[in-house]
Amino acid sequence: MAAAARLGMIWAEAIGGAIGRDGDMPWHLPEDLAHFKRVTIGAPVIMGRRTWDSLPGRFRPLPGRANLVVSRDPAYDAPGAAVVASLEEAVERAGAADARAWVMGGGQLYRAGMPLADELVVTRIDLEVPDADTFAPGIGPEWTLVDPGEPLESRSAIRYRFERWERVPVSV
């Protein structure tokens, strides 16, 4: 069996950890989409079936990346992507193609990926989303903020920054 990929996770969260509303992202931040592409291009991306469903047809599969969709439905059809039955299977499949894979959502997949990932790339958005229905996982003490990013402001006047977290190495 091929070695499993190392796993990173990438998401954007607003105040209070909001990441989604009504099956979509509750903001328009083109700079974050460009950042997402820079980070993930060339690597496999792993997503839950609902996140795949949320991508507009013209954007899926995401180009330049192997797309892996996790679903319990073995008959689910995601043209241009591979459908797998679990996150673990996705990580194994990704390992055959590349050394680093990225979980790209949504809430269920981020929670499942937390114990497996060694890197988090988080866009922290200074925005209130009172009616959010999907939330980022908590980042526990096993994680170190290795890059807090600099404060940035989008063309749409939303303030944000790009953080990078690494899992604290276990000391011996």
Ligand X SMILES: NC(=O)c1ccc[n+]([C@@H]2O[C@H](COP(=O)([O-])OP(=O)(O)OC[C@H]3O[C@@H](n4cnc5c(N)ncnc54)[C@H](OP(=O)(O)O)[C@@H]3O)[C@@H](O)[C@H]2O)c1
Footprint on this chain of ligand X (rule: CB under 6 A): 11-12, 19-20, 23-25, 47-51, 54, 70-73, 76, 85-86, 104-109, 112, 134
Residue 170: CB minimum distance to ligand X, A = 26
Residue 18: CB minimum distance to ligand X, A: 8
Query: Which residue number, 36 or 66, has a Cβ lying nearer to ligand X?
Result: 36
C-alpha torsion 123→47→106→113, nearest 10: -80
Residue entry with tokens 């991306």: 45
Write down the least CB distance from residue 104 to ligand X, Å: 6
* Tokens 């989604």, residue located: 20
For the chain, percent helix, then strand, then coil, each to nearest 5?
25, 30, 45
CB of 95 or CB of 107, closer to ligand X:
107
Alpha-carbon distance of 166 to 172, in angstroms, equals 18
**Peptide bond just before 149 cis, omega within 30 deg:** no
For residues 26 and 95, which CB has a smaller minimum distance to ligand X in the complex? 26
Q: How far is the CB of 149 from ligand X (least distance, A)?
A: 15
**Side chain identity at residue 132, one-letter code:** A
Residue with smaller CB distance to ligand X, 35 or 66: 35
